[in-house]
C-alpha cells in the first residue's frame, strides 16, 4: 500500500490541524494505522493508532491524550489525526504508517509493528 500524508502547516499555540493519510494500492480496511512524529534531533515516536475498523480500538501516547483524535474512513481510504490545542512541543514531521494482516482490534505503538510508511508532513507550532 502507498500512503500519502497531508495537512501539516505552521500554526500558533492553541490552534488545530487535521492531518490526513490516504492509502492506495491495497484494501485500506485491512490495515491498522498509526501516526508517528519525529522532531529535529529526536527519535521517531508513537502518537496514535487505530485498529482496522472505524470506531474500533484506539491508542494514544500520554502527551496527546485529550487533545488528539485518530479516526478513519475506509470508504475514502483515509485515516485522520485531529490535533487540537497544539503546543510548540508538538512540532515535528508527522508520519502515517500501516500494518497489513491484522485482526480486528489490534493496534501497534511500536515502529516495528508497521509494514508501510508515508512520506511525512511537517507540523510547526509557534509560541
Q: What is the pLDDT of residues 84-110, one digit of tens each?
A: 999 999 999 999 999 998 888 899 999
Q: What is the 3-state secondary structure (H, E, C) of 52-121?
A: CCCCCCEEECHHHCCCEEEEEECCCCEEEEEECCCCHHHCEEEEEEEECCCCCCCCCCCHHHCCEECCCE
Q: What is the pLDDT of residues 38-85, one digit of tens each?
A: 999 999 999 999 999 878 899 999 999 999 999 999 999 999 999 999
The Cβ-side half-sphere exposure at 49, using a 13 Å CA radius, reads 25
Query: 56 and 42 in contact (C-beta within 8 Å)?
Result: no
Amino acid at each position: 500500500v502507498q500512503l500519502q500524508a497531508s495537512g501539516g502547516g505552521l500554526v500558533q499555540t492553541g490552534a488545530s490541524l487535521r492531518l490526513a493519510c490516504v492509502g492506495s494500492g491495497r484494501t485500506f480496511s485491512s490495515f491498522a494505522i498509526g501516526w508517528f512524529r519525529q522532531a529535529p534531533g529526536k527519535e521517531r515516536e508513537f502518537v496514535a493508532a487505530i485498529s482496522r475498523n472505524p470506531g474500533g480500538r484506539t491508542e494514544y501516547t500520554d502527551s496527546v491524550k485529550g487533545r488528539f483524535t485518530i479516526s478513519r474512513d475506509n470508504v475514502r481510504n483515509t485515516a485522520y489525526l485531529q490535533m487540537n490545542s497544539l503546543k510548540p512541543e508538538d512540532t515535528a514531521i508527522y508520519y502515517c504508517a500501516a500494518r497489513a494482516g491484522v485482526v480486528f482490534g489490534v493496534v501497534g505503538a511500536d515502529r516495528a509493528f508497521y509494514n508501510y510508511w508515508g512520506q511525512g508532513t511537517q507540523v510547526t507550532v509557534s509560541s
